[in-house]
Structure 1
Amino acid sequence: MADPKYANLPGIDTQPDVYETNDLAEDDQQRELAELSSESVEKLSINTKEAFNKFQDKMLLSGQVDFSDRISQARRTGYVAPKKEYEILEDGYQDKETPVQRFQRLQHEIRDLGQEVDKLQKTAKEESSGVGVSPATLMQDISVLQQQLYGLHLEKILGNESVIEAADPQGSLPKKLFNQLDAFKKEAGQPSTPPKKGTQETKDGHVTYELYYRPEQNKFTQVSKGAELEQRLNGLEAMLGQDPQKLASLTADSSSKSLMESVSQLQARVAILDVGQVDHIEARIQGLLQRLDQVSEKKSAVEDAGKDSKISALYEMVQKWDSIADTLPKVVDRLQALKDLHEQALQFSQALSQLDIAQQQLTSSMGSQDTLLKQLKESFAANLASIQANCESLESRMKGVKK
């Protein structure tokens, strides 16, 4: 029980302590949110089982994301989703691969693998590949796979035409169309026969074909053209480089002209390539080549004359040096014999120069001594005169004292 002396103090809470509250009512806990209803939002009914089966065992790599959408053979948009099963058909295609399509796909993959292993075998001499197998072993395995594919004899089973059609369906369409037209012409030349049951007779002897347009094929063609254009531009950039002289030579004709003038100039250049113009230009070039040959012959004759004069001058110099070359060893021997004498003469000349310097120093010192001697004589004479004067004055004083 609380102390009664604190009961009437202000600011004291006298209410009982509560440590647990009651639960809220059911109406307060369940709140129904209003559903969003808008015409711009489309509600789709998705089957969870189908979605689970479709995206089961699928992966999405977020480390190699590229949204640049550049033109190239490989797709460079979005995320990278690796596949576990590769087929010729597109994703989402309902039909399965035919045996011919599967054969072509395997043959193409084995060919690509062989090219990659061949490059690896050329670059890596002793290093092993990423899977720990040497390139030679991989090439043997690839040859075994190719033999297994050839052992299926798919051409004998399905026929050459089916294999060619599966390999190049777009290229085989014209041939197939021409074969059908030839067959129709032969049937048209034969006498008419009553139509069989279950067949429809063509109207006025015409053949009707249905052409289907594939947007993905057109898109692939456009992308391939863009890739080819990009490859050609890269080739031009690699050929021209960053040299401003080459770029200036290419843009010299069109830099200061309009588009029509540039086109007209190109047309004039193309017109020069006509047969008559080419023959005329060839004749002029032949005449120019003959003149160039004559000029080169005259130039060679002049150069030969100059070379002959230089050679004759060199020959005369060599003739002069022949007489000198005979006496040159004797001169060398004499110089070697006189080497000691020349060294002694050099030492004697050095000693003479030192003596000359000493003599000059002595003469200068003698001159200074002469001047000092003259000054000493003059000082002695002056002192003697002063002494005599002092003596005379002293004698005169002595005489005066005696008197």
Structure 2
Amino acid sequence: MSSKYSALPDIDTQPDVYETPDTCEDAEVSDDGFPTHEEQSEDIVNENITVGDAVDKFKESTGEVTETDAERAIRYKKQLYKQYVKRPPLEYEILPRDPALQETSLQKLRRLMYEVQELGEEVEKKKVIDNLLVRLFLCLFKTHTYHDCDSLRMKLQQINLITMHYHRKY
């Protein structure tokens, strides 16, 4: 013990002792390490069966597999293949930048096409909004016709709602 703690009261200076019983008298342990019990249930059949006898006994059984089950398994595999490998070209997957996952050329092409398409949609929406804003500005400050200005204002509100919904969705 360190000398700085030796003067403190209520410090236990005795070594720690961990005691466990050496053996358990009421349970026997076999050579494989599992406890054995002398009392066996009468419902348990204790027959020694060799591996060869077991193979001979179950060699003839093939289970309950029918032709329809095999066909169902093949159809299920085909459905999985179509669902995960042969995706339609309208669906694009964007993979995270993980060193364990390498993006194939096809995946990269699809991702870039999707990003270009998305950028084009954003540019078109911005052009439409800018055009309507210019028309609304001209309408308000030059023509002073209430009907034209009101219809442009309604269109702008609709576009604003659409873009707000679009940005919430993505």
TM-score of the aligned structures, taking structure 2 as reference length: 0.29
TM-score of the aligned structures, taking structure 1 as reference length: 0.14
Higher-Rg structure is 1
